[in-house]
Amino acid sequence: MIDFVDWIAVDWGTSNLRAWGIASDGSVAAERSSPKGMGKLTREEFPAALTELLDGLASSSGAPLDVLICGMAGARQGWLEAPYLEAPTDLSGLYAGAVRPAMPDARFAPAILPGVCQRGGADNVMRGEETQLLGLAALHTDFAGVVCMPGTHSKWARLNGTRIESFSTAMTGEMFEVLRTHSVLRHSLNGDLEGPGRSDGFVVGARAGLDHPEQLLGTLFQVRASALLSDRQPAWCAGYLSGLLIGTEVGSNRHLIGEHPVPLIGSAALCGLYAQVLAMIGATGVPQDTTKIVLAGLKAARSLSV
Amino acid sequence: MIDFVDWIAVDWGTSNLRAWGIASDGSVAAERSSPKGMGKLTREEFPAALTELLDGLASSSGAPLDVLICGMAGARQGWLEAPYLEAPTDLSGLYAGAVRPAMPDARFAPAILPGVCQRGGADNVMRGEETQLLGLAALHTDFAGVVCMPGTHSKWARLNGTRIESFSTAMTGEMFEVLRTHSVLRHSLNGDLEGPGRSDGFVVGARAGLDHPEQLLGTLFQVRASALLSDRQPAWCAGYLSGLLIGTEVGSNRHLIGEHPVPLIGSAALCGLYAQVLAMIGATGVPQDTTKIVLAGLKAARSLSV
């Protein structure tokens, strides 16, 4: 069975690969996903991974299907490096910077969108988030303010319409994982991490991070000390560590948060935790539907190309 | 051949075990070391590790030799848990808190000194450093101020004579290791880490950490971004990461640093780096001879027992 579509939107991240077949009226006619993220592929394996994922999708005209890709497929270690746009920059220029990797399967014509970088003392890079920011701008045309994108490497971006003014990256999610797995704190995080006590620990940690983001190297050790001295259980310690890291991230970005609500783009669970921490300083975080945002971004990028 | 000594001083850390045979005039008559740190031993293996290390040492009287031990041998996962003294506390009470593990070899009579803890919102623990602080107090009888002890888990302690007022722990050394080995930063730290550029990177990182200790989660990612965008080499990145972490630690403890020089107790290489960072904010760090400090601490603890 063949699904006839107008073009294909692809989000190719480090861990996963997702695709949507877009009908001529703009609706999603087919949806596919695969675990073949950039991190699991050699350069040579990208075309086959795409063909496998898109099998059964075709254009009604018989012409090659445009496949518009955002994310880590455009990284140096990805399929084909897509040069960065340099912030401050207008994201309406994303499509003009796309690169076209060779594709043995002539049914598909892939193009990979660039990421955005920032130079001059505050070196930084993003790949994939820029498309989400464009999606947010497309769905909320009058938005101007800071956007928080929680994750392994959280991004905070100052957005004004489709223009990205500046951004930063916080290694919050990855820090949680490496400390939990490889540091002395693992001794205190060995057990049922979802049990009762987690939410209490989260609030204590978030408060410490918000009040003293400059003390992170010290407050981290309190995970261990609290387990030794106060008999804190693994779930409490996991909550404390999670809250401490998110609180530190939010605390260090406090100067960017104005009176407007902060859009949150990321997994629903993580966005819920960030919204909770933002509320602790009187701010409002508004979790977005990430799939909707990515699709809106790819559509907006494409609409600026044709 | 037998070395006749009056008593034996032992520093039993996580990674290493060191012993000094002390003659009746207080001089060091014999020195031994072994890689059998607490972290490599089960509880049952401690007596044999000690006997093996001390073989050939004996008292001239034929009575059992006092063996005074500081450090992680007294941890919960060590030989026998030595309860903590609770800060603020006078370190002259260390010996009174010592515990005596069972010792099958009757030639030796071991006693393990307690560590120091801190409770009430700023939970913290130390084991071994308290003996070094007592040693510093014994060698500099009029010292009052903050002491910095760089390492895997750096300690900052406010000391007044033999009294420890308060202390904190920064996970600086361990953070360097887990990020270098297990995080995304490893891609930028893969190569010759000691090459040219390391000292330049160190200064840039230290400046960033000193100026913005609250931005650590963000500035860490700049190791990666600098490698991608500015073609920074592994040695520069390693220097930046080291400087950033030490600068953040020093920056977050800046309020404790008065006009007096800050004694530094730790490895010579590490103390040199901390002295360099302290100089960047107009402070003076004074590296101590750590072996001399440990020995002075064990001697001072013992002198208060007899």
Euclidean distance between CA atoms B95 and B85, whole angstroms: 11
Q: Tell me which H or E stretch contains B259.
A: none
Q: Does A200 have pLDDT greater than 80?
A: yes
| pLDDT at residue number B306 | 55
Encoded amino acid at B132, one letter: Q
| pLDDT at residue number A62 | 84
Give the CA angle between residues B235, B240, B241 to the nearest 5°: 100
A225 to chain B, any CB pair closer than 8 A? The answer is yes
| Average confidence (pLDDT) over B43-66 | 94
DSSP designation for B43: G
Residue among B76, B218, B224 whose CB faces A168 most closely: B218
Euclidean distance between CA atoms B256 and B46, whole angstroms: 39
B242 to chain A, any CB pair closer than 8 A? The answer is no
Euclidean distance between CA atoms B129 and B91, whole angstroms: 11
CB A148 within 8 A of CB A163: no
| pLDDT at residue number B250 | 98
CATH code of the domain in which B53 resides: 3.30.420.300
A254 and A178 in one domain? yes
Tokens of A128: 């994939």
Give B-chain residues touching A225 at CB under 8 angstroms.
117, 123-125, 169
Euclidean distance between CA atoms A96 and A305, whole angstroms: 7
A104 and A10 in one domain? yes
A186 to chain B, any CB pair closer than 8 A? The answer is no
pLDDT in tens, B17-32: 999 999 999 999 999 9
**CA B160 and chain centroid, separation:** 19
Specify if A138 maps to a domain.
no
Q: Mind giving me the DSSP string for A13-52?
A: -SS-EEEEEEPTTS-EEEEEEES--GGG--GGGHHHHHHH
CATH code of the domain in which A225 resides: 3.30.420.310
CA distance to partner chain A, nearest, from residue B184 (Å): 8
CA distance to partner chain B, nearest, from residue A49 (Å): 24
- CB within 8 Å of chain B, chain A residues 23-62: none
A282 and A177 in one domain? yes
A214 to chain B, any CB pair closer than 8 A? The answer is yes
Domain-ending residue, one of A97, A127, A157 = A127
Cα radius of gyration (chain A): 21
A153 to chain B, any CB pair closer than 8 A? The answer is yes
pLDDT category, B61, cuts 50, 70, 90?
Answer: confident
Q: Does B40 have pLDDT greater than 70?
A: yes
| pLDDT at residue number A26 | 92
Q: Do B221 and A179 touch (CB under 8 A)?
A: no
Domain count, chain A: 2
| pLDDT at residue number A267 | 95
3-state secondary structure of B171: coil
| pLDDT at residue number B289 | 97
Give B-chain residues touching A213 at CB under 8 angstroms.
214-215
A183 and A116 in one domain? no
pLDDT in tens, A178-196: 999 999 999 999 989 998 8
Q: Mind giving me the DSSP string for A260-301?
A: S-EEE-S-HHHHHHHHHHHHHTT--EEE--HHHHHHHHHHHH
Residue B162: how many CB atoms within 10 A of its CB?
20
Residue among A170, A218, A249 whose CB faces B168 most closely: A218
Residue among B123, B181, B221 whose CB faces A225 most closely: B123
A:B CB pairs within 8 Å: 125
Give A-chain residues touching B172 at CB under 8 angstroms.
217
Give B-chain residues touching A215 at CB under 8 angstroms.
213, 252
CA distance to partner chain A, nearest, from residue B67 (Å): 27
Specify if B163 maps to a domain.
no
Cβ neighbours of residue A255 under 8 Å, at least 6 residues apart? none
Euclidean distance between CA atoms A137 and A297, whole angstroms: 8
| Average confidence (pLDDT) over A242-258 | 97
Residue among A168, A179, A252 whose CB faces B214 most closely: A252
3-state secondary structure of B27: coil
Specify if B77 maps to a domain.
yes
Residue among B226, B230, B249 whose CB faces A217 most closely: B249
% residues pLDDT > 70 (chain B): 99
Closest to B11 (Cα-Cα) out of B94, B128, B186: B128
Residue among A123, A245, A249 whose CB faces B222 most closely: A123
A175 and A105 in one domain? no
Instruction: Give all strands of the β-sheet with B85-86 in edge-to-edge order.
Output: B85-86, B116-118, B124-126
Q: Does A304 have pLDDT greater than 90?
A: no
Q: Do B174 and A181 touch (CB under 8 A)?
A: no
Residue among B153, B175, B230 whose CB faces A123 most closely: B230
Specify if A156 maps to a domain.
no
Burial category of B29 from C-beta neighbours within 10 Å (exposed 0-12, middle 13-18, buried 19 and up): middle
Q: How far apart are the first and last CA of chain B?
A: 29
pLDDT in tens, A12-50: 999 999 999 999 999 999 999 999 999 999 999 999 999
| Average confidence (pLDDT) over A143-160 | 97
Domain-ending residue, one of B127, B162, B189 = B127
Specify if A297 maps to a domain.
no
Residue bearing tokens 């037998």: B2
How many helical (H) and strand (E) elements, i.e. helices and strands, does chain A have?
9, 16
B267 and B194 in one domain? yes
Distances (CA, A) of B72 to A142, A209, B41, B292: 60, 29, 11, 19
Specify if B246 maps to a domain.
yes
More confident residue, A88 or A258: A88
pLDDT in tens, B67-120: 999 999 999 999 999 999 999 999 999 999 999 999 999 999 999 999 999 998
B183 to chain A, any CB pair closer than 8 A? The answer is yes
| pLDDT at residue number A306 | 55
B103 and B15 in one domain? yes
| Average confidence (pLDDT) over B235-251 | 98
B178 to chain A, any CB pair closer than 8 A? The answer is yes
Specify if B69 maps to a domain.
yes
Q: Do A122 and B222 touch (CB under 8 A)?
A: yes
Give B-chain residues touching A76 at CB under 8 angstroms.
228
Q: Does A87 have pLDDT greater than 90?
A: yes
Q: Tell me which H or E stretch contains B121.
A: none
Euclidean distance between CA atoms B62 and B220, whole angstroms: 58
Residue bearing tokens 């509320």: A279
Specify if B247 maps to a domain.
yes
Residue among B76, B122, B217 whose CB faces A171 most closely: B217
| Average confidence (pLDDT) over B210-216 | 98
Domain-ending residue, one of A127, A160, A188 = A127
CB B240 within 8 A of CB B193: no
pLDDT in tens, B160-189: 999 999 999 999 999 999 999 999 999 999
| pLDDT at residue number A1 | 73
Q: Tell me which H or E stretch contains B131.
A: helix B129-139
B69 and B179 in one domain? no
| pLDDT at residue number A166 | 97
Q: How far apart are the first and last CA of chain A?
A: 29
CB A14 within 8 A of CB A37: yes
A182 and A122 in one domain? no
Q: Does A296 have pLDDT greater than 80?
A: yes
A191: alpha, beta or left? (left if phi > 0; alpha if psi -120 to 50):
left
What is the complex's ipTM, to 2 decimals? 0.93
Q: Do A184 and B171 touch (CB under 8 A)?
A: yes
A113 and A27 in one domain? yes
**Residue A111 sits in which domain range?**
3-127
The 10 Å CB-count burial string (b at 16+, else e) for A128-141 is bbbbbbbbbbbbbe
A175 to chain B, any CB pair closer than 8 A? The answer is yes
Tokens of B150: 């760089």
% residues pLDDT > 70 (chain A): 99
Cis status of the peptide bond prior to A88, with omega within 30 of 0: yes
Distances (CA, A) of A257 to A161, A204, B248: 17, 22, 24
B81 and B179 in one domain? no
CA distance to partner chain A, nearest, from residue B56 (Å): 36
Nearest chain A residue (CA) to B232: A123
A121 and A178 in one domain? no
CA distance to partner chain A, nearest, from residue B182 (Å): 7
B214 to chain A, any CB pair closer than 8 A? The answer is yes
